[in-house]
Chains A and B, each alone.
Chain A
Amino acid sequence: MKKLLLLIALIVTGSLKSQQKLAFSFGETPQTLLLNPGAETNFKSHYGIPMLSDFSFNLGLTGFNLNDLFSNDSRAFRTRFEGVLNKINSTDYINFNTKIDVLNVGFRLDKKTYLSFGFYEELDFISYMPKDFIELFYYGNEPFLNRTFSLSQVSMKGDFLGVFHAGISKKVSEKLNIGARVKIYSSSINIESLNNSGTFSSTTSNENIIRQSLNNINGQIRTSGIVDSDDEYVDSPNEYFSRTFLGGNLGLGLDLGLTYHFTSQLEFTASLLDIGFVKHSKNTKNFNIDGNYTLDGLNFEYDTSSLSNYWQQVEQDFRDRVITEQTQEAYTSWRPMKINAAFKYSFGEKRSKSCYSKTHKQYYYNAVGFQLHNIMRPIKPQFSFTSFYEASLSKKIHTKFTHTINDYSSTIFGAATSLQLGKLYVFGGLDNLLGVADVSTANSIAFNFGFNIVID
């Protein structure tokens, strides 16, 4: 039985698919500190293996899956595309996030204080489905007389940045451990189009057969890093990477976290991550549109005394009423703040393990609990609720099994493990066991793993 559980644990570790939130409040790995700076640590120091200490990848989409678009059946691709277009709504989204921990080290300052610092690179992208404008582009406006197309559905944000961080985890009392992490963001690329408003419509009219209207249009696309100081588009990957090392637009962030033991068996952990911003002042290029316009057509006046160029008049009138401009103004971009919280009740066989400075920590072999995970996103927060069961197979092998309900699905079953192989700590997890069988029908694909040297 124990071998079977070990086998499962190793599958999970090697599966390369999990979500980082699986690692929250789990396993006493060094990377837990990146998810909760107030997590308890029981080691003297740690050294992340460069580029491998923490790697995560997450691709998710709501409203449809790959099978809806690319199923190998007799239907034309066009039919499948139209089926997807019919299924999605404007709050569905595509979300992509990957993090590579380049450097991560930590050491114990004293019995109560653990310091850690490092550098990671992050690529994060989310775009909601602007269904109105996809349909307008795909079908045109002719089939949609008297329908309103909303610009507010256009909402997206993409970031590529490097993050330098330094954190402290401090034991305040036997019950409470708190922590904080300061971050310096170095943004290489930022593209965002947020808080757009206004509508486009083609309606029946008394003046002409139809009338086209732009009502209270207010839209913007803000970018930094895609053009250089000469307003030329940057096409060198090296330049994009080099700007993540303090060469880009800089920002400041803060993580906060705590661990609180109500009793020796009941634990509460919580963290707020990426409370921060980036000030984009270098290499910015922004596009704005603002105004109202009503088009009835070319109003022929048959005035022989003053011939008019009606088309030119319409174009000029449009330019006067709908202001479009490109600017290089600085702007501030907020990081997507994450909120994590977990309650855990430990039970079962009670063991103790040696920790730093010849102290011992007592722990239970089993635990159950639930956790909340929330990311602030442009249109609405992405919320997950996870219930979990943890089991330690030995002092060196810990496993966690989860059930998660979120935007992607209500049947996400996951598992994670952390292993201690000598001084090498390995962790990983799989957050969608059912999705492994056929990724094409899953709404999310994710994995997370890491290798660290830990000195007890």
Chain B
Amino acid sequence: MNMYIKNLVAFFSLCFLISCTDNLNFDEINLNVDPILTTPLIYFELNQDDFYNSTTGTEIPMITDTSDFRVFKSSAIRNDVFKAVFDFEIENRFDRSFEVNIVFFDGNDNITRTIPSFTIVPQDLNYVASESIEIDASPIFLTSRKVRVEVKLNPSTTQIDPNIYQIIKFKSTGTFHLSI
């Protein structure tokens, strides 16, 4: 009986010894997760009558709209984002050129970032632009809480005709590079 038990104990030990996990390294487990998240942002479609005041019969040279921009309200995003890229696609079926100005503001309406203006010539149906913001270089951008998009008709001898259906189409996405 004692011999059996001794053998048993010996081979319990032996088995642990012959079982090996050689060639494993648990010391260099360093996994940085770097997801790139892209999301649709502002889009709109404007007709010629959006630039025409039917009461006065005159052109409206500039229209503006604003929205909250809450991407950076999340501390998870704020702490991990290191680059933001905004892509724009604009289709201009007007016979007029126009300019687009995009400005970001913080909660107190202070400017945090101005995207350089785009000028889209008449009948340019495939205008594309991109703006990349490195957060290290512009940390103030993380305080952005509002975004304003201005559309300004450039002066021309060609007048807006609200009776003709012609559109401006604006599309945009935001792509956020994170390092978690």
Contacts and interface: CB of A to CB of B under 8 A. Distances in A.
Interface of A: 7, 10-11, 13-17, 66-67, 70-73, 76-78, 81, 136-143, 202, 205, 207-212, 295-302, 304, 307-312, 315, 419, 421-422, 426, 430, 436-440
A436 B20 CA distance: 7
B121 to A, nearest CB: 21
A300 B23 contact: no
Chain B's interface: helix, strand, loop or mixed, by majority? mixed
Contact of B15 (A11, A73, A202, A309): A11
B12 A16 contact: yes
Contacts of B15: 11, 14-17, 430, 436
B140 interface: no
A10 to B, nearest CB: 5
Interface string B62-81: 01111111100000000000
A15 B40 contact: no
Contacts of B44: 299-302
Interface string B10-34: 1111111011111111101111110
B36 interface: yes
B149 A209 contact: no
A311 B68 contact: yes
Interface stretch (B111-119, B131-139, B157-165, B169-177): B169-177
Given A16-B15, A72-B24, A421-B4, A298 B38 contact: no
A430 B19 CA distance: 12
Given A14-B15, A15-B15, A210 B38 contact: yes
Contacts of A141: 36-38
A249 B34 CA distance: 42
Chain A's interface: helix, strand, loop or mixed, by majority? mixed
Contacts of B65: 300-302, 307
Contacts of B10: 14
B20 A439 contact: yes
Given A14-B8, A142-B38, 19 more contacts: A14-B11, A67-B24, A70-B26, A78-B30, A78-B31, A139-B36, A140-B37, A202-B38, A208-B40, A208-B172, A209-B171, A210-B38, A210-B173, A298-B42, A298-B43, A302-B64, A310-B67, A421-B1, A430-B15
Interface in B39-64: 39-44, 46, 50, 63-64
A14 B35 contact: no
Contact of A71 (B24, B38, B66): B24
Contacts of A436: 15, 18-19
A309 B68 contact: yes
Contacts of A309: 67-68
Contacts, number: 166
A158 to B, nearest CB: 24
Interface in B75-116: 87, 89
A90 B21 CA distance: 27
A440 B14 contact: no
A340 B21 CA distance: 32
A299 B5 CA distance: 79
Contacts of A438: 20-23
Contact of A297 (B13, B20, B42, B70): B42
A304 B7 CA distance: 91
A67 B23 contact: yes
Nearest to A78: B31
18 contacts: A10-B8, A11-B14, A14-B7, A14-B13, A17-B19, A72-B25, A77-B31, A208-B40, A296-B43, A297-B172, A297-B173, A300-B67, A302-B65, A302-B151, A311-B67, A421-B4, A426-B8, A440-B21
Nearest to B88: A209
Contact of A139 (B5, B35, B50, B171): B35
B153 interface: no
B137 to A, nearest CB: 21
A208 B68 contact: no
A300 B38 contact: no
A455 B85 CA distance: 77
B167 to A, nearest CB: 13
B6 to A, nearest CB: 10
B178 interface: yes
A6 B79 CA distance: 63
Nearest to B7: A10
Contacts of B25: 70-72
A410 B25 CA distance: 27
Contacts of B64: 302
The 3 closest A-B pairs by CB, nearest first: A140-B35, A297-B40, A14-B11
Contacts of B66: 307
Nearest to B46: A302
Contacts of A208: 40-41, 43, 171-173
